[in-house]
Amino acid sequence: MFLENKNSRIQQIHFSEIENRDVTLFIKREDELHPFISGNKFRKLKYNLEESAKQNKSTLLTFGGAYSNHIAATAAAGFNFDFKTIGVIRGHELGNNFAETIQNNPTLKFASAHNMQFEFVSRADYRIKTSPEFIASLKEKFGDFYLIPEGGTNNFAVKGCEEILTEEDAKYDFICCAIGTGGTISGIINSLKSHQKAIGFPALKGDFLQHEINKYILKQNNWSLNINYHFGGYAKVSEELITFINKFKRETKIPLDPIYTGKMVFGIVDLIKNGFFEKGSKILAIHTGGLQGIEGMNLLLKKKNLAQIV
């Protein structure tokens, strides 16, 4: 067993914007599962690492953007458990001056320090990354590997995410989770009790998620997506969002990332203010991690002379 199943702690949130409301908000600190294999990426990698070992494959290959939490987590997992790792990264230009790229990108710097080897590809190649031809060209270049899809989502990942909720979590009425590819919420939906509802907060625009999630869930229909809190799209942020993240941290001591959990908690707080949840509801938000992305986002914000995450 590479990653032992663990239960993360749950904290009740006391936040001025939702004081004296008739609902209670809690957060499950999956971000604390591991210092580097953080949050839902821990859950998603767990059974993929086991499967890779079972298939006697010593190299993991996966895909991601230049600031990807999944890339960072896969590099750390490979480093810890003796897998070679290859990251196929979107952005051919990043390979032109590798030293400079690493200098300006904390995520790739971290992955490189954990021995990940990179293949920087054009946006066009990145789009066809799952085609048999492209995979064959990668095999020619790197030899045999265990392939983990972008964002880590496959059946093994969903199985790992089914371990996020435990029997004790049955006391919550709503389970809220940020969404990228949909793998994490699929696992959560599969482990819901019949009286519970899941609400997913997509961190990006697009209408493919309903379909993606339906591929992985067993038969539940007690879930929904709230598509109103993507803030313009993937990795897009606003000053309002950054201010919110900083205020939330100041009052609760809980750090949120700007790509996923910040948007989700903003959404939950907004829904509470608007009276969306019925009186007495207990809401559990899943902190899926992603905190490694703050440094990279701050560099971008600084370049644009905008307020940063503190």
Ligand X SMILES: *Cc1c(COP(=O)(O)O)cnc(C)c1O
Residues that bind ligand X (CB under 6 A): 39-41, 69-70, 151, 153, 178-184, 257, 260-261, 288-290
Closest CA to 89 of 135, 50, 120: 120
Based on CB atoms, which residue is closest to ligand X, 121 or 265? 265
Query: Closest-CB residue for ligand X?
Result: 290
Reduced to 3 DSSP states, what percent helix, strand and coil does the chain have, rounded to the nearest 5? 45, 15, 40
CA distance 166 to 136: 41
The one-character DSSP state at 85 is E
**Nearest CB to ligand X, comparing residues 291 and 301:** 291
Q: Cβ of residue 89: shortest distance to ligand X, in angstroms? A: 16
Shortest approach of ligand X to residue 43 CB, angstroms?
A: 9
In the complex, minimum distance from the CB of residue 130 to ligand X, in angstroms, rounded to a whole number: 15
In the bound complex, what is the minimum distance in angstroms from residue 181's beta carbon to ligand X? 3
CB 14 within 8 A of CB 251: yes
Q: Closer CB to ligand X, residue 39 or residue 267?
A: 39
CB of 92 or CB of 249, closer to ligand X: 249
Distance CA 190, CA 61 (A): 27
Shortest gap between Cβ of 290 and ligand X (angstroms)?
A: 3
Minimum CB separation of residue 265 from ligand X in Å reads 11
Report the nearest approach of ligand X to the CB of residue 190 (Å): 13
Other Cβ atoms closer than 10 A to 255: 18
CB atoms closer than 10 angstroms to residue 205: 12
d(CA 226, CA 248): 21
Residue with smaller CB distance to ligand X, 92 or 300: 300
The residue (of 235 and 301) whose beta carbon lies closer to ligand X is: 235
Closer residue to ligand X, CB minimum distance, 58 or 116: 116
The pair of structure tokens assigned to 124 is 């066009």
Gap between the Cα atoms of 274 and 93, Å rounded = 45
CA–CA separation, 37 and 291 (whole Å): 11
In sequence order, what are the beta bridge partners of 198? 175, 223
Q: DSSP assignment, residue 228? A: S
CA angle at 224 for the pair 219 and 226, rounded to the nearest 5°: 160
